[in-house]
Structure 1
Amino acid sequence: MTTTTTAPPTTRLGYIDNLRVLLTVLVIAHHCAVTYGALPVWYWAEPSTSPSGIALMLFVIVNQFWFMGAFFLLSGLFVAGSVDRKGPGAFARDRVIRLGVPLVAFLLVARPVLSLPQWPAARAEGETFLHFWFTVGDPGPLWFVEVLLVMSLAYAAFRALRARSRASLPAGTGAVAGRPVSLRGIAVLVGVLTVAAFLWRLAVPTGTYWELGGLPTPAYLPQYVILFVVGVLASRRGWLTGLTARQGRVALIVAVAAVGPALGTVALATAPRAGMLAQVGASLAESVFAVSMIVGLLVLFREKFSGQPAWARFAARNAFAVYVVHALVLVGVAVLLAPLTAPAGVKFLVLLVLSVPLCWLAAHLLRRVPGVARVL
């Protein structure tokens, strides 16, 4: 990726906030899909192997290829500038508050509430309610917050160590931006993701769950780390403005074309006695799809959806709080919808349409509680 020297932007970008809102809605849709699809991995599940249930499962798998990686990239975009302004120590303390407090609150309050259907079985085995409340389950969707906190603190430590080893650059200098991002640079990113995913999955295959930390998709950790780093570098080197409209259009076309190969190669790679070639093919196809989707959407939102009317600012302001509370809203609505007899796809749509506005309403009301907006 070729670059020239200039100062980085220091203000938030409307199209990035708008894209983050879209990704947050996609997270809600993802968890609506696991509620009714053929992959029941949610607090409340009514699994279905009907055609619509299978379609929801495929929707979940395709999401997994890229959307959490996109979240980590967007998160990385503003990390370097924040450390510039606050310094590594103040940045680390801020991250512990902004990410650590919601994580602990979810573990101590939301997680036990969401796991209450398991209480009768636990009680029958002699477990006390107090032990159940404080030990049941994992961080659920807040595994993202957990991993992001670790990455943010690691970056703060890196900056602190670098500052000790040499004189720090003044804020706003030494950054780069400007010339277009080359196709070769994009291909290098795909290659790095492919190699990292292939080697990592020799030890951590797709479908692995890490009980320590409650990570549901540790097979994708290399993608998350690399894209977070790409976000940090992109903020320094102007890679977002360097992407051209044509590259964005081509990327979206490639993403659409790569969906089928990605699903097919992953199916082969996760089959019993899958060979190395299948593993390489799956890693490559996933990486092509992920990078293409992210590049395409970044350019699309920069070119077409950069404005922020009042409703968009409201949505962006509450997006993180929505991520934190959406599990409680979804499960509550799904329980109320349980008596409804309908195909899985219909129930998915009903749950999604009801839950999206309710999640933003719940987030808005929660942030009005004194002190909460400081964290959420």
Structure 2
Amino acid sequence: MSVSRSLYLDQIKALIVALVIALHAPMAFGGMGWIGVRIPIEESVGPFFNGFFGWYGYAINSFIMQMMFLISGYFVPRSVHKKGVARYLKDRLLRLGVPFLVGMLLINNSSLLLSRLSPASPYSELQWNNQPFNSVMVLWFLVVLFAFDLLYCTWVVIRGNRFSVDTSVVMPGLRSWLMSAVVLGILEVAMTMQTNLWIALVRSPLNALGLQGMHTFTYGFLFFLGCKASFHRWFERLDTHLVMKWFRLSVFLLLSLLGLSMTLSFNTHLVDEPVKIVLLVYFLYPFIAWGILSYLIVWFQRNEHRNGQWLAAAGVNSYGAYVIHSFVLVAVLMAIGFIGLNPWLIAIIATALTAIISFAVTGQLRKIPVVARVL
């Protein structure tokens, strides 16, 4: 893959992981907090705050992990062809397995132990045998990604290990974009309605899959779309006219949902069954994602040199930053969350500090050759 292509994709990865952190920081204001760090704000905020952050989480979650799976899939076919299935899977076990084990046993458990010391932690009163130790938390992404890797490698074993770029294949057009969004939106709703499954997963060591599992079909579609795109250089051949039309639709939907969230926050009596709103939002997820994902790809392609090497370097460190950010965020929230700061400032400062520290620490760790092999 060319340096140019790697540059803009690395820049996107840096942005997406920063947005993951931005998504997680305000969770400290919710019921269970962020991995046990809960900052009580009920008496200091009004409906505007609640309405905004009620929308904020759904808005960011509508495209961030989708982009991570799309980009991950884009690199797979070339790598499998170059290394062969056996060596590729061995390398993936190392690169995904080691961070997973270290993250689950050391980072996640340390986060739980530290969070129990926070003033309002819901975990502080739980007995030790009821603490959610050895849980996957944010590492669910590694589990699902490896499952998709296995599926692709199985297909390669059956069909043969062939890789060649063929730009004569026609790009998917508006009809394909629309049909895929409709089908995946319906699947999102159908999966979300499997509440017993998600509740069981939330209470298990696979807890985060109870929050993300309903999006599995969308994530899988985008991973394999990324694989297909690498055969035909679809990222580089995106129809900018179609991208801009769909991006406008995505922005319209996001703003409409913001208006809906604000309306319901100021008028809580309007909806008797909030779950119906959640189902509507999840149905719209693919419609929002298609525009945001394609626009980011086009924009970063056009501006990769303006953003420079620093953002691409951050993208190289993004995987490690993702793995360690859960502990860093716990520490930052405990440092600034209980000193009387305005909740808006807490969310902004926690996001910025966690991103800076996570990327910087990963950059230093990657200077160690052994660590660089897995991060």
TM-score between both structures, scaled by the size of structure 2? 0.83
**Aligned position for 2:154:** 157
Contact residue 74 and residue 228 of structure 1 kept, 8 A: yes
Q: RMSD across aligned C-alpha pairs, in angstroms? A: 3.3
Instruction: Assess if the C-alpha contact under 8 Å between 1:40 and 1:46 holds in 2.
Output: yes
The aligned counterpart of 1:344 is 343
Distance in structure 2 (CA, Å) of the matches to 1:123 and 1:41: 14
Shift in Å, 1:157: 2.0
Question: Structure 2: how far apart are the matches of 1:206 and 1:66?
Answer: 23
The residue correspondences of 1:45-194 to structure 2 (distance < 5 A) are 45-49=38-42, 50=45, 51-116=48-113, 117-118=115-116, 127=128, 136-163=133-160, 168-169=161-162, 171-172=163-164, 175-176=166-167, 179-194=170-185
User: What residue in structure 1 maps to residue 273 of structure 2?
Assistant: 272
Report whether the alignment pairs 1:360 with 2:359.
Answer: yes
Structure 1 CA distance for aligned equivalents of residues 197 and 298 of structure 2: 30
Once the 2 structures are TM-superposed, how far is the Cα of residue 37 of structure 1 from its aligned partner?
5.6
Contact 1:73 1:227 in 2 (8 A): yes
State the 1:143 CA deviation: 1.0
Q: Is the 8 A contact 2:70 2:224 kept in 1?
A: yes
Specify the alignment match of 1:287 in structure 2. Answer: 286
Distance in structure 2 (CA, Å) of the matches to 1:23 and 1:112: 25
Displacement of 1:363: 0.7
Inter-partner Cα distance in structure 1 for 2:99 and 2:280: 38
Deviation at 1:238, TM superposition (A): 2.5
**How far does residue 47 in structure 1 lie from its aligned partner after superposition?**
4.3
Tell me by how many angstroms 1:102 deviates: 0.2
Give, in whole Å, the separation in 2 of the partners of 1:160 and 1:368. Answer: 36
Residue 231 of structure 1: aligned partner? 226
Residue type at the aligned position of 2:246: A
Q: State the match for 1:303 in structure 2.
A: 302
Q: Matches of 1:302 and 1:352 in 2, distance apart?
A: 26
CA, structure 1 residues 273+106, in 2 after alignment: closer, same or farther (shift >3 Å)?
closer
> Equivalents in 2 of 1:58, 1:252: separation in Å?
18
Q: Which amino acid aligns with 1:58?
A: W
Question: How many Å apart are 1:122 and its aligned residue?
Answer: 8.5
CA distance, structure 1, for counterparts of residue 94 and residue 191 of structure 2: 31
Does the 8 A contact of 2:23 with 2:61 survive in 1? no
Once residues 89 and 75 of structure 1 are traced to their aligned partners in structure 2, the CA distance between those partners, rounded to angstroms, is: 19
**Correspondence for 1:327:** 326
Structure 1 equivalent of residue 187 of structure 2 = 196
Q: Which residue of 1 aligns with 2:372?
A: 373
User: Residue 297 of structure 2 aligns to a residue in which SS?
Assistant: helix
* 1:252-309 Cα distance to aligned partner (Å, 9 max, x none): 21111011445659x99x963967xx78754442221111111221222122335663
In structure 2, do the counterparts of structure 1 residues 252 and 37 end up closer, same or farther at CA, with 3 Å as the change threshold?
A: farther
Q: In structure 2, what is the Cα distance between the partners aligned to 1:244 and 1:180?
A: 8
Query: Which structure has the higher relative contact order (CA within 8 Å, separation 6+)?
Result: 2
Establish whether residue 35 from structure 1 lines up as the match of residue 34 from structure 2: no
Q: Is the 8 A contact 2:136 2:206 kept in 1?
A: yes
Where do 1:212-231 residues align within 5 Å? 213-214=206-207, 215=209, 216-231=211-226
Contact 1:37 1:53 in 2 (8 A): no
8 Å contact from structure 1 (residues 262, 289) kept in 2: no
Q: Answer yes or no: is the 8 Å Cα contact 2:55–2:257 preserved in 1.
A: no
Is contact 1:318–1:364 with CA below 8 Å preserved after alignment? yes
Change (3 A) 1:274 1:313: closer
Structure 2 residue aligned with 1:250:
245
Q: Would you say how many aligned residue pairs link Structure 1 and Structure 2?
A: 354
How far apart, CA to CA, are the structure 2 residues paired with 1:332 and 1:222? 34
Separation of aligned partners in 2, 1:259 and 1:311: 30
